Amino acid sequence: MNAIFGAGGGESVRVGALYLLMVAAVWCSGMAQARDCLDPEARRTPLRLADAAVLLLLFALVPFALDRGLGKIGVAREATALTHVVVLALFGAAAARMLRAPGAASAARRGLGLSVVIGLLCGVGTRAARRLLFGAGPVLGDGWAAPGVMLLLVAVTLSEELVLRGVVQGALERASRPLGRAAPWIAAVAGVVVAQLTAPAWTPLLLLLALGPAVARASTGRLLAAFVARLLILLAGT
């Protein structure tokens, strides 16, 4: 709460909206859990919408608090950036642990090979849409090609996809199952919109770049497809 009230302008609105969404998700999950307690045939959902909402709130708040705290004590930008990478990796590990719970992973709707192909197509399509709407993106310099830097990029990308597409979009899809075949696509759109609240500044470009991995995940049921699309968007040359 201190981070919410200590923020200014758009930051307070963004973090406050995330907090209210978390409260709503916890309330909905609590009501569903109370209903299931009265149903002897009901089985507990291993990964609830509330779990995803709490993780998403922390995913947004911890980097925000780190920026404010480390900035006040004059920590170098390089050290701050490295701290962010470590924190993202920890969030990715936590998301992976949550997804390992029995029944937490969504059922795959496509085979492994086809999922990779769909991920590649979503990545290519997203890059083409970016070029058409916003112009060519920046080409990664030679410094980014260093094995250590590339490994960090892959680790950060995987961690973000585990949280955003794995836990958050997966939980939204399970919550939308009563809507039938539309559930994966509703979850994809809702997940992208909600995830924009974790970004320091919302832009149409960020929204576009998030759509490719979300569509890959929705159409295949596999997180691997989203990861392939995200990597292609990030690493491929313009």
4-44, pLDDT tens digit by residue?
A: 555 555 666 776 777 777 777 777 766 666 555 544 444 55
Q: What whole-number distance in Å separates Cα of residue 134 and Cα of residue 3?
A: 33
Higher local confidence (pLDDT), 176 or 18: 176
63 Cβ contact list (under 8 Å, min separation 6): 84, 87, 88
Cβ atoms of residues 220 and 109 within 8 Å = yes
Number of H helices, E strands in the chain: 10, 0
pLDDT for 103 equals: 64
Higher local confidence (pLDDT), 91 or 57: 91
For the chain, give the mean pLDDT: 81
pLDDT for 225 equals: 95
Name the one residue in this structure whose structure tokens are 């949280």: 163
Q: What is the pTM of this model?
A: 0.82
Between the ranges 44-53, 123-132, 173-182, 202-211, where is the mean pLDDT highest?
Answer: 123-132
| pLDDT-derived band at 230, boundaries 50, 70, 90 | very high
Q: Flag whether pLDDT at 185 surpasses 90.
A: yes
Q: Flag whether pLDDT at 146 surpasses 50.
A: yes
DSSP 99-130: HTSTTTSPPPSS-HHHHHHHHHHHHHHHHHHH
Q: What whole-number distance in Å separates Cα of residue 234 and Cα of residue 140?
A: 9
Name the one residue in this structure whose structure tokens are 């509330």: 50
How many residues are recorded in the chain? 238
pLDDT for 41 equals: 47
Q: What whole-number distance in Å separates Cα of residue 216 and Cα of residue 196?
A: 18
The DSSP element (H or E) to which 29 belongs, if any, is: helix 10-37
Rg (CA), the chain: 18
50-77 confidence digits (pLDDT tens): 888 888 888 888 887 787 777 777 777 7
Structure tokens at 176: 């939308």
Q: In 38-111, which ranges are continuous DSSP H helix? A: 49-72, 77-99
pLDDT for 217 equals: 95
Average of pLDDT values for 218-223?
A: 93
pLDDT for 234 equals: 83
Other Cβ atoms less than 10 A from the Cβ of 115: the count is 23
Instruction: Report in angstroms the alpha-carbon separations of 206 from 29, 34, 111, 171.
Output: 29, 38, 29, 22
pLDDT for 47 equals: 77
DSSP 236: S
Which is it for the CA torsion 232, 233, 234, 238, positive or negative? positive
Q: Flag whether pLDDT at 92 surpasses 70.
A: yes
DSSP 100: T
Structure tokens at 200: 């320091």
